[in-house]
Amino acid sequence: MAEFSFELDDDQKAVRDWIHGFAADVMRPAAAEWDEREETPWPIIQEAAKIGLYSLDFYAQQYFDPTGLGIPMTMEELFWGDAGIALSIVGTGLAAVGVLANGTEEQIGTWIPQMYGDAADVKVAAFCSSEPDAGSDVGSMRTRAVYDEAKDEWVLNGTKTWATNGGIANVHVVVAVVDPDLGSKGHASFIIPPGTPGLSQGQKFKKHGIRASHTAEVVLDQVRVPGSCLLGGKEKLDERLARAREKAKGGGERLKNAAMATFEASRPAVGAMAVGTARAAYEVALDYARTRQQFGRPIIDNQGVAFQLADMRTRIDAARLMVWRASWMAVSGRPFESAEGSMSKLFASETAKQVTAQAVQILGGNGFTREYPVERMHRDAAIYTIFEGTSEIQRLVIARTLSGVQIR
């Protein structure tokens, strides 16, 4: 078990600096263009693939970093570069985590490489959980998966929404209801292989922020997949459903569902994304405050500005420490007895919104224009308190964990 340390080792620092260089030299100069175009930045993803930054090997190395800091370090640097482009680069990872959290070794080895492709032919993947009437309320999910025993196939029908890379992905991971009587406990995850008939892209959303990341509906109409595409396998699913039915009869403990297992694993990583965006906005504001002259002196000479910058930096550092703690706890196998994973996501997300808003204020009228990047960063930051569990849901998780009461 790795000892917790606030200091990155030499190898981690080298990786961090390498990612930062890509973010500064490739992502930053292209950020405004792809934000305006509202399109997937395939050329940037391909550049990342060419140097090994967008690859299964790289993310596996970071995922299995024994300190737990590989993924949050990567996310912070990429999202420092630009949140929209970064989400296009890392969005595949949520689907990969879904397979890692729920799949067999054979499924992991078969499908995750197909999610990334290679430098000559890059691919992306999509994790599809939310629905038009089921976002935070996963128990309201309606997408159904019915087992055709004669053909050993699962038949999926329904509509997913807010899917990053939805419809353009090579591989889709879809959460569906297999036993409606069990609510959220009756869910399972399925791989939808490339080219499967019946899967199509629905509406593509035009968004307030992270506009370089493709977000769309995914429509499943009589989609048939082999039994081997059920993550974890049918035997494991049948055992889990049987336990859930028994516990439901006795009013037993709550069980994790397939979607929540994925989100729990990714919450500290989302916190790291928020830290990256907040840090980027803070650095722009700090540089601006040092150089902007008003009344014959730099505006940072005024306490009103200087104290804001002090608060911004303090919150960013505190958010990073919470993310690192949760990431270390996860890799060390320590339970989130106080919902530390949700705490890290909540605090970092709220920090990103607050810090980017303060950055706009410090830049004044310039901060409100697209000539400066803080306007885009402020728009991008709004998503962190919404996706992969809203701030309200994080507070609910934390409150339930601390109190032991099923607060509603």
What is residue 193's DSSP assignment? Answer: -
Question: What CATH number has the domain bearing residue 304?
Answer: 1.20.140.10
Supply the DSSP string of 65-130, one letter for each residue.
Answer: -TTS-HHHHHHHHHHHH-HHHHHHHHTHHHHHHHHHHH--HHHHHHHHHHHHEETTEE--EEEE--
Same domain for 133 and 105: no
Task: Give the pairing of strands 199-204 and 215-226.
Answer: antiparallel
- State both tokens at 403: 């109190």
57, pLDDT greater than 70: yes
The answer to whether position 1 is within a domain reads: no
Of the candidates 228, 266, 4, the one whose C-alpha atom is nearest the C-alpha of residue 127 is 266
Q: Residues 111-140: what's their mean pLDDT?
A: 88
Domain C-terminal end among 122, 156, 188: 122
Cα distances (Å, whole numbers) of residue 392 to 62, 161, 314: 30, 20, 23
pLDDT digits (tens, 9 = 90+) for 13-56: 999 999 999 999 999 999 999 999 999 999 999 999 999 999 98
Q: Which residues contact 380 (CB under 8 A, 6 or more apart)?
A: 82, 83, 84, 209, 210, 277, 356
Average pLDDT score, the chain: 92
Range 293-300 contact pairs with CB under 8 angstroms and sequence separation of 24 or more = 299/362
Is the same domain home to 244 and 270? no
Cβ distance 282 to 367 under 8 Å?
no
Range of the domain at 264: 258-403
Is the domain of 90 the same as that of 136?
no
Q: Which of 249, 281, 304 is the last residue of a domain?
A: 249
Catalytic site residue from 33, 131, 388, 392: 388
**Structure confidence by residue, pLDDT tens digits, 208-258:** 999 999 999 999 999 999 999 999 999 999 999 999 888 877 654 444 555
Residue 3 within any structural domain of the chain: no
Tell me whether residue 215 is in a domain.
yes
Is the same domain home to 286 and 348?
A: yes
Q: What pLDDT score was predicted for residue 143?
A: 96
Residues 323 and 272 sit within 8 Å (Cβ to Cβ): yes
Whether pTM exceeds 0.85:
yes
* Residue where one domain finishes, among candidates 231, 249, 267: 249
* Better-predicted residue by pLDDT, 247 or 299: 299
* 104 and 131 housed in the same domain: no
Is 239 considered catalytic here?
Answer: no
Task: Using alpha carbons, select from 66, 63, 383 the residue that is nearest to residue 75.
Answer: 63
